[in-house]
Every structure is written in C-alpha cells, then in structure tokens.
Amino acid sequence: MDEDELLLLLQEARERNRKLGVTGMLLYKEGNFMQMLEGERQVILELYDMITKDSRHKDVTKIMTGDIKKRNYAEWSMGFFNMDQAGNFPKYNEYIDQNLTLRSFQDDAKHVYRFITRFNETN
C-alpha cells in the first residue's frame, strides 16, 4: 500500500472504531499488518468477521483473544505505527526487524502481546 492508501485505511478504521467504542493499535510493515482490537466482546467479534471478509485482507490469522482488565489503547480509536519508516524511532529498533508474516507469532501469544503493546506511547 502506498502512503495515501494507508492513511485512508487508518482514517476509516478510526471513524468506525470511534462509533463502535473500539480502541486498538495497527502496525504495518512491508504490506503486512498486525492489529490489536479492544472493546466489547460481541463488537470485536463482529468487527473481526468484517475484516476477514474484506477483500483487501488476505491470510487473516487470529493469534489471541481474551478479556483484559484495562485497555492498552484507551485513548486511541486506532493507534498506528508504520514500521517501514521506523528510522526515526530508535526505541523500537529491537522490534522493527520482526517479520509480521512469521507464523511463530501464532505460537506465542504472550510474545505477540508484549510486541504490540510496546508501541503504546502511554506505557
């Protein structure tokens, strides 16, 4: 996706999430996304179903689900980090080299959780 397509996708997600009471984070790297969604269980399940049916998405993999005590991104309808442009964010260097297409994420939900919540500026 080019920069304009990314920004449009992000704008759409933020507007939809605001209306649904959903918060979360979206990471992008080399055409791949990783996303965390937070909100009411049924709303999230319906949103995930919509994402899996969207023709712009391929190989959607749910890595983890569960309840949380406190939202990680309570202030963000959708945080965003473009890992392709991470040169200006040295504190994320250890994460930038991660390949978002690796299925190894699927086998270690705790690693995924630590990975994506690392991009929360309010931590």
The sign of the CA dihedral 18, 22, 83, 117 is positive
Tell me yes or no: is domain 3-117 CATH 3.30.70.100. yes
- What is the pLDDT, as a whole number, of residue 122? 47
Average pLDDT over residues 5-23: 93
* Number of residues in the chain: 123
38, 24 Cβ separation under 8 angstroms? yes
- What is the pLDDT, as a whole number, of residue 84? 79
- Please give the single-letter amino acid code of residue 11: Q
Per-residue pLDDT of 36-52, as tens digits, reads 999 999 999 999 999 99
Domain residue spans of the chain: 3-117
- What is the pLDDT, as a whole number, of residue 39? 96
Residue 58 has pLDDT above 60, yes or no: yes
Rounded to whole angstroms, the Cα distance separating 104 from 7 reads: 28
79, 25 Cβ separation under 8 angstroms? yes
C-alpha distance from residue 1 to each of 25, 30, 31, 71, 118 (Å)? 18, 8, 6, 29, 24
State the pTM of this model.
Answer: 0.80
Low-confidence winner among 11-25, 35-49, 57-71, 86-100 (lowest mean pLDDT): 86-100
